[in-house]
Amino acid sequence: MQNIQLQDIGLKNYKDAWDYQNELFQKIIAIKLANRDREEQKQTPNYFLFTEHTHVYTLGKSGDVNNLLLSEKQLEAKGVTFFKSNRGGDITYHGPGQIIGYPIINLDYFFPDIHLYMRKLEEVIILTLAEYDLKGKRSEGETGVWLDTGTPFVRKICALGVRTSRWVTMHGFALNVTTNLGYFDHIIPCGIKGKAVTSLEVELGKKLDSKEVKLKILKHFSKVFKAKFIRETLKK
C-alpha cells in the first residue's frame, strides 16, 4: 500500500495552485531521474492536494479558445481570469463551491497506464456520488462523470483533466458541490455542446458540508488506488 501526503491548501487562485503543483511534480521527476544512477532506488513521494479556486476559466492544451464565449473586457467585468493550462481536455470553469483534487503521484507505484488512471479517478467520484444515492456514469468518448447518460437530460457533475510526464501525474478532477453553475453559461464546457452541467447541491436540493464530501472522496480514493493518506489536514 502506497503512502500519499495529503494537503488541503484551501482557496487559491489558479496560477498559485498550478505553480505549487508543478513544484511537487518536478520534485518527483527529479528524484526519478536521479534514481537511474543509483544502485538503491530512492522512494519518490506521492501527494494529493485539495483546493478551491477563485473564479477562472482554464483551457486545456488541446482545447479551442472559441469555446470561451466572453471577451477580455467581459471577463474583467465579471471578475473572472483565464488561463491556458498544460492539462488535457478543453475548457472548464473553476470557482468557489467546487472540490478540486490534484493527485501528484508516481504511477510506477500504482499502474503505468494513463487510460486506467483516468478511469480509476472517475470510479472514485462515481463511488462518492453513490453515497448520496446518485448514479454517476461515464460517457463513451468523454472524460468525466455524468448523470443520466444516454438520455436528453444528461448532465456533467465532475470534470477531469490531467498531465503526465515520466508516469508522474498532475492536475486532476473538479467536482461541483455548491458551485454557481451560471459561470458555465459563458463557455462550451469541455467543448461539448448540448449537455448541461450540474452540482451536488442542485441534485440533492440542499447545501452540503464540503469536509464531509472530501472525506468520502478520500475513503474511495484509498480503496480504488490501494493507498494510505498521511498528514490529513482538511479545511472546510
What DSSP line would sit under 79-143, residue for residue?
T-EEEE-SSSSSEEEE-TTEEEEEEE-BGGGT-S-HHHHHHHHHHHHHHHHHTTT--EEEETTEE
**Single-letter amino acid, residue 7:** Q
Give the dihedral of Cα atoms 222, 50, 130, 123; nearest 10 deg.
-60
Tell me how far apart the alpha carbons of residues 121 and 220 are, in angstroms, rounded to a whole number. Answer: 10
Report the 10 Å Cβ neighbour count for 32: 18
CA torsion angle 5 10 15 19 (round to 10): -20
The x, y and z cell numbers of residue 80, run together, are 473572472
Asked if 128 and 190 count as a contact pair (C-beta separation under 8 A), the reply is: no
CA pair distance 168, 11, nearest whole angstrom: 24
Using an 8 Å Cβ cutoff, are 174 and 94 in contact?
yes
Supply 2's cell numbers. Answer: 502506497
pLDDT at 236: 45
Domains, the chain, in order of start with CATH, read 2-230 (3.30.930.10)
pLDDT in tens, 113-144: 999 999 999 999 999 999 999 999 998 888 99
Q: Tens digit of pLDDT per residue, the chain (236 long)?
A: 899 999 999 999 999 999 999 999 999 999 999 887 665 567 899 999 999 999 999 998 888 889 889 999 999 999 999 999 989 888 999 999 999 999 999 999 999 999 999 999 999 999 999 999 999 999 888 899 999 998 989 999 999 999 999 999 999 999 999 999 999 999 887 777 778 999 999 999 998 999 999 999 999 999 999 999 997 655 54
Longest dimension (CA), the chain: 58
Catalytic residue IDs: 190
pLDDT of residue 1: 87
DSSP result, the chain: -EEEEEEEEEEE-HHHHHHHHHHHHHHHHHHHHHHTT-SSPPPPP-EEEEEEESSEEEE-TT--GGGB-S-HHHHHHHT-EEEE-SSSSSEEEE-TTEEEEEEE-BGGGT-S-HHHHHHHHHHHHHHHHHTTT--EEEETTEEEEEESTTSTT-EEEEEEEEEEETTEEEEEEEEESS--GGGGGGB-GGG-TT-EE--HHHHHTS---HHHHHHHHHHHHHHHHTEEEES-----
